[in-house]
Amino acid sequence: MLRTLALNTGAKRCFSSSAARMDLNKIQLIGRVGADPSVTDIGNDRRVVNYTVATSETRPDKEGNLIKRTQWHRISSWNSAEWLPSKVKKGDLVYVEGQLRYNDFTDREGIQRTKAEISQTSFKLLRPAPERENDNDEE
């Protein structure tokens, strides 16, 4: 017993015969902050916080030796200039959620380049850097 499913064709797509759907651009990272965040004033009372997060994975190579691979991710945060720089420091373990963005720019030599960064939408400090944990114990 087969039934035919009628799709709502209200949304026309010239490149596909399938029904329209929502796309998703979502990045989730758990890693360590690479340097203390910096705040940049971009005018019109807008400030952006920039920082990097390192994520690492360890995998065996062909000979069975464990190889650690670290990737660095640029993060930009538009709604946290008031609190994030004072709460987050180098080495902190953080959870970051955001959207992947690509920005085109011309470098000093006049070459067109593209920079990938994550526009932060959610943030959580999971664990302070080990030296900060020790500082808190002494207080």
Q: What is the token pair recorded at 78? A: 């538009």
Q: Report d(CA 81, CA 51) in Å as an integer.
A: 12
CATH code at position 82: 2.40.50.140
From the number of C-beta atoms within 10 Å of its C-beta (0-12, 13-18, 19+), residue 77 rates as buried
In a domain, 14, yes or no: no
In a domain, 22, yes or no: no
> Do the bridges between strand 93-106 and strand 66-77 make them parallel or antiparallel, or are there none, so unpaired?
unpaired
Mind listing the pLDDT tens digit for each residue in 34-88?
999 999 998 888 999 999 999 999 999 999 999 999 999 999 999 899 999 999 9
Supply the pTM of this predicted model. 0.74
In a domain, 99, yes or no: yes
